[in-house]
Copies of this chain bind each other. A is one copy, B any other.
Amino acid sequence: MATIKDVARLAGVGVGTASRAISGNGSVSADALARVNEAVAALNFRPSTTARALSTRSAGMIGIYVPDFAGDFYGPILHCVDRELRAANRHMVAANGCGPADISIDDMEAHRQQALDGIEFLIERQVDGLLVMGDALTDADCDALWERVPRLVLLNQVSPSNLLHCFSSDHELAGRLVARALLAKGHRDIACISGLQYAHDNASRMAGFHSELALHGVKIPKSRQMVGDFSFDGGHAAATKLLKKGLNFTAVFCANDMMAMALISCFGHAGVRVPEEVSVIGYDDSALARYTHPRLTTLSIPIQRTAISGCRFLLNQCYGLSLPVEREFPPEVVWRESLLDGPHAG
């Protein structure tokens, strides 16, 4: 591998000049520039990113923590972030929650620890900035993290002490929109399957959902409130339990589309027809929502735009850029076929 010394020698200039010519920082005569460029080409020179990182104290990389690479939620986010980073000539080091294969779904502490471990790992890798997809982190965790690494943006969660560094849709409002959609269609006997208990976005959406319902005088009995974990399996288990208690509801809200799909499958096998007998509404508007049968009516949050803006904000902070960033990511329901008129319609 050629080093900058080699190109300086070949170009007949000092290494300082070579460096200035190559990096574009500092001025060089047209003549010197040309000779350096020639030498670079001749030697097929590529500056060492690690040497550069050491002297500039900037690794040129951003860490991103996501709870899980599997599932259909985080992939599109990684995709966007990769694109943004590469457009800015930076790269991404990604980590997800690792650990004991089977953590119980209500073991918040284990999930929290996984997130903390993954983030710690990234910090130790000396990333310039950190993107973290909200999960089981407490506000105190976030504060502690921001204390250590100010260049951390929280995605899909808002932690009150540092709103500027949080990028998220309003999940509470989104939950309300779900409730309104159900109500508007004339459903009052409703069931629900929530996501991971300690995930903040889940908590917000369920809170909004229930309180909007309450506003209109409908209360979901505990026996019709199931807890899932955002996975197919969790959704299926919850749907099974729900069914065991009898079909005393006309619609169910699933806190994400994967669980909605699992529920449709479960109900189908049990011989209850969706949406004729029971309507279902999902959440996320993920890719599969258009391909379940029936197609899913679901709540869409612009998660990719959220991630892009969070990423750009971070890039601006870390490298003094001024990429445009949005702050509003309004949720909306997208109507398809899984939600039909209920008994109280019209």
Check B265 against A295 for contact (C-beta < 8 Å).
yes
The answer to whether A241 has its CB under 8 Å from any CB of chain B is: no
Query: Within the assembled complex, what's the spacing in Å between the Cα atoms of A115 and B54?
Result: 29
In the bound complex, do residue A287 and residue B232 qualify as a contact, i.e. CB atoms below 8 Å apart?
Answer: yes
When the two chains form their complex, are residues A91 and B91 in contact, meaning their CB atoms are under 8 A apart?
no
Tell me, in angstroms, the Cα distance from A86 to B258 when the chains sit together: 29
Chain B positions within 8 Å of A92 at CB level: 93-95
- Stretch from A4-12, A70-78, A322-330 that touches the partner: A70-78
Closest to A70 in B: B75
Tell me the smallest distance from the CB of A40 to a CB of chain B, in Å. 14
A236 at the interface (CB under 8 A from B): yes
Of A44-52, A161-169, A181-189, A214-222, the stretch lying at the interface with chain B is A44-52
Q: Are B49 and A51 in contact (CB under 8 A)?
A: no
Query: Given the complex, which residues of B lie within 8 Å of A70, measured CB to CB?
Result: 72, 75-76, 79, 287
Q: Are A59 and B68 in contact (CB under 8 A)?
A: no
Query: Contact between A126 and B49 (Cβ–Cβ < 8 Å)?
Result: yes
Q: Does A35 contact B (CB under 8 A)?
A: no
Q: Could you mark each residue 240-264 of chain A with 1 if its beta carbon is under 8 Å from any beta carbon of chain B, else 0?
A: 0000000000000000001001101
Q: Kindly state the interface size class of chain A when it binds its partner.
A: 35 or more
Chain B residues with CB under 8 Å of A61's CB are 93, 125
Q: Known: A70-B75, A78-B94, A261-B288. Contact between A86 and B293, CB under 8 A?
A: no
Residue of chain B at shortest CB distance from A76: B70
Cβ-neighbour of A69 out of B46, B76, B95 (below 8 A)? B76
| In the complex with contacts A92-B94, A94-B78, A288-B261, A50-B59 CB distance below 8 A | yes
Note all chain B residues with C-beta closer than 8 A to A86: 95, 98, 121
Quick check: A290 and B232 within 8 Å, CB to CB?
Answer: yes
Q: Which residue of B50, B83, B288, B295 is within 8 Å of A126 (Cβ)?
A: B50
* Residue of A50, A261, A264 with highest tally of chain B CB at under 10 A: A50
Shortest CB distance A67–B (Å): 11
Q: How far is the CA of A61 from the CA of B232 in the complex (A)?
A: 33
Asked whether, in the complex, the Cβ of B91 is within 8 Å of the Cβ of A125, the reply is yes
The answer on a CB contact under 8 Å between A288 and B288 is: yes
Q: Does A96 contact B (CB under 8 A)?
A: yes
Are A82 and B54 touching (Cβ within 8 A)?
no
Check if A53 is an interface residue, CB within 8 A of chain B.
yes
Question: Across chains A and B, which 6 residue pairs bring their CB atoms closest together, nearest first?
Answer: A69-B78, A268-B293, A70-B75, A69-B79, A69-B75, A265-B293
| 10 residue pairs A–B, Cβ–Cβ below 8 Å | A50-B50, A54-B54, A70-B75, A70-B76, A71-B72, A82-B98, A91-B93, A92-B93, A232-B290, A265-B293
